[in-house]
Structure 1
């Protein structure tokens, strides 16, 4: 059994065949999926999906790329929705310096506000980090994010950075890139970081694992991530499935 801890079933890419995508995931023994809503449209869709499917849980927040669009009213709305028992985290939030739609100071201010919101309502935070590791780590420290902990989503940093995050009560989540031939850092992290600190995800419809790289990703592919971690650690895929599923259930407070 597997849990896809970060998937965008609310994406337009699934509009035509969502039920087929979900059926393929269930056939692949992906027993639960955590759907991430990161703006008005995807949050509304996330709330619909968690009501529609017993095995779907939600995380809601505001993506750093669109930080400039987020209002105080939006944050208050997110706080209200987060009272739903199937909302299990705040995010994805963080910093993205690759895209320049939202200035860095605007991203940083919103990141801090979402950490504070997570602390207020006692939910973990799901972190998006692209080309911003130093500032992400500093803000997590300054805001005492360890008090709620969280997930470093689709982690692509070094073993040293992973250890820093673990020391702050964060899980390391690996996705499709760990299967890419030249993905040195994710492979090192998968090899080196103890299994008790790891979770797996797809980030579907993005970042499909090998051999589907470049195609639309879907939660049915999460076993390919587990398979590569198993290879790197010298364990069976069943051992990876069991450990990462247990980790996700414990972390998100998801019932068996």
Structure 2
């Protein structure tokens, strides 16, 4: 199993995964802690970046700091970055910070981990302008339409399927899971978002089982496909975990 999005720095030590995962930062303050966690568990690969909720904290020195951090061991992606119209942070600031990080991802040849809430109208043109298809990545916690998912696929971006797929009312996401290429599906828990800490392996398995059912895959097939997708998109070889 490969969980492609969780915030391990916010989990209790007893709840942290020992299986392969991508641990995502949301602010500059997370970066050193995540680097230390990777040192103790090399199966915890890292996405470092500044989430739109912290975009107002971006300073002139942040870009250089992030560039240096992206060269560190275990850092495979730029994230969690994106746009979110629900936030108090102005869209102008969010867009400036996102564009800077997209350019850094392309320059450093790192895939991106994107957060998008009510913002695909602004996000997709920006991704096209910055040629993010060169590095690819994933839109995590996806909940948009099939058409948006297909636009993202053309930009070399996968769809992160999380706990929303367990909601019977999530009919749009059901359609997306059934419609997109199997190469575009990733499994994530976003732990510990809106949930107490606990057995996140259970949540991952529930999500996987639902995706398998919707795609008419058996469980082993679902694990193989989503694991291979995660490793290909994040460029994590099988031989580099222990």
1:40 and 2:28 are equivalent in the alignment: yes
The answer for the alignment partner of 2:200 in structure 1 is 219
Deviation above 3 Å: which 4+ runs of structure 1?
A: 214-219
Deviation per CA, 1:199-239, whole angstroms, max 9, x where unpaired?
111110015xxxxxx54465312111110001111211221
2:132 aligns with one of 145, 150, 170 = 145
Q: What do residues 73-131 of structure 1 show as CA deviations (whole Å, max 9, x unaligned)?
A: 1221111011013100001111011112x100110011110000001111011110011
The residue number in structure 2 matching 1:69 is 57
Distance 1:162 1:42 in 2: 30
After superposition, residues 91-240 of structure 1 pair within 5 angstroms as: 91-100=79-88, 102-206=89-193, 215-216=196-197, 219-220=200-201, 221-240=203-222
Which residue number in structure 1 is paired with residue 15 of structure 2? 21
* 1:83 aligns with one of 71, 74, 89: 71
In 1, are the aligned partners of 2:42 and 2:74 still within 8 Å (CA)?
A: no
> Aligned Cα RMSD in Å?
1.4
- The corresponding residue for 1:246 is 228
**1: distance between equivalents of 2:30 and 2:138?**
20
**Alignment length (residue pairs):** 237
Aligned mates of 1:41, 1:217 — CA distance in 2: 24
Once residues 56 and 232 of structure 1 are traced to their aligned partners in structure 2, the CA distance between those partners, rounded to angstroms, is: 28
Structure 1 length normalisation: TM-score? 0.89
TM (norm. structure 2) is: 0.93
